[in-house]
């Protein structure tokens, strides 16, 4: 079936590059449950922002193949309701100015990483330094959220649905890996960033960051493979920079 779909789409797309990609896709189709899709974005009819002082950057992150968690044979978890699939893998993309600092900005309004269907939702998120994050339990069972990350160690202990979860303030930049002690498969990654110019990509890797002052930046991408890749990017006012990130 997927092969047919690929073949039919190939005849509709004249571009030779797409054909090559589709061919590669066919090759890897069976191996990866997460389909690797790279599409060139044709932003025809691009709407320039009215604010000429700020620019935008948009593109697609090649998310790369992400192996799902291998549930070991010994891993048995008894849950009251079925475990739902985790969030799709996404990347975090942000800009760091090559020279000059960050604007003094208020921290993000309260961010929430919920536990729902025995998964952290969202699976990946990003906040500015100083932001507080809550971890509401939306399941009918206890969760016990903790992290040993050097960025921020915390251990919320067990609490159930409806109980107020304490807000954790992240005042240092870095990667925070969040686990549930009870459900070993649950994990979430929180990036604490100095930069206010960041976004979490779409499921297909597409991203757009607006309101970026013109200047030279390093475009950093935290991939699902937990690798961070860097690229140079120059933002011009009133312009939308088109830049893709390869895996």
Positions that interact with other proteins (CB under 8 A): 69-72, 74-75, 146-150, 153, 177, 179-181, 184-185
Q: Are strands 124-128 and 187-193 parallel, antiparallel or unpaired?
A: parallel
> From edge to edge, which strands make up the β-sheet containing 215-222?
198-200, 92-97, 215-222, 228-235
End-to-end CA distance of the chain: 27
Least distance to other proteins, CB of residue 148, Å: 4
Least distance to other proteins, CB of residue 154, Å: 12
Pick the closer one to other proteins by CB: 71 or 98: 71
Residue 210 DSSP symbol:
E
Least distance to other proteins, CB of residue 149, Å: 6
Go through the chain and tell me how many residues it has.
247
Question: Among positive and negative, which fits the CA dihedral 128, 133, 138, 139?
Answer: positive
Least distance to other proteins, CB of residue 151, Å: 9
Pick the closer one to other proteins by CB: 7 or 184: 184
Pick the closer one to other proteins by CB: 177 or 208: 177
Pick the closer one to other proteins by CB: 102 or 146: 146
Side-chain-facing half-sphere of 31: CA atoms under 13 Å: 9
């Amino acid at each position: 079936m997927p092969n047919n779909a690929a073949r039919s789409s190939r005849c509709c797309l004249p571009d030779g590059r797409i054909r090559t990609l589709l061919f590669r896709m066919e090759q890897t189709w069976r191996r990866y449950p997460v389909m690797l899709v790279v599409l060139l974005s044709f932003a025809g009819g691009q709407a320039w922002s009215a604010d000429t002082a700020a620019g935008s950057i948009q593109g697609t992150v090649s998310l790369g193949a992400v192996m799902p968690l291998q549930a070991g044979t010994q891993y048995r978890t008894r849950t009251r309701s079925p475990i739902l699939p985790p969030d799709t893998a996404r990347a975090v993309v942000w800009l760091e100015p090559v020279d000059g600092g960050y604007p003094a900005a208020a921290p993000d309004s309260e961010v929430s990483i919920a536990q729902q269907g025995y998964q952290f939702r969202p699976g990946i998120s990003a906040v500015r330094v100083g932001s507080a994050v809550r971890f509401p339990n939306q399941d009918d069972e206890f969760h016990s959220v903790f992290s040993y990350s050097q960025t921020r160690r915390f251990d919320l202990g067990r609490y159930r649905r409806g109980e107020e979860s304490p807000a954790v303030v992240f005042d240092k930049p870095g990667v925070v890996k969040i686990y549930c002690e009870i459900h070993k498969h649950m994990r979430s990654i929180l990036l604490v960033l100095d930069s206010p110019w960041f976004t979490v990509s779409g499921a297909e890797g597409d991203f757009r960051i607006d309101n970026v002052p013109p200047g030279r930046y390093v475009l950093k991408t935290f991939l699902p493979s937990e690798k961070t890749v860097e690229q140079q990017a120059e933002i011009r006012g009133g312009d939308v920079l088109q830049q893709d990130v390869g895996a």
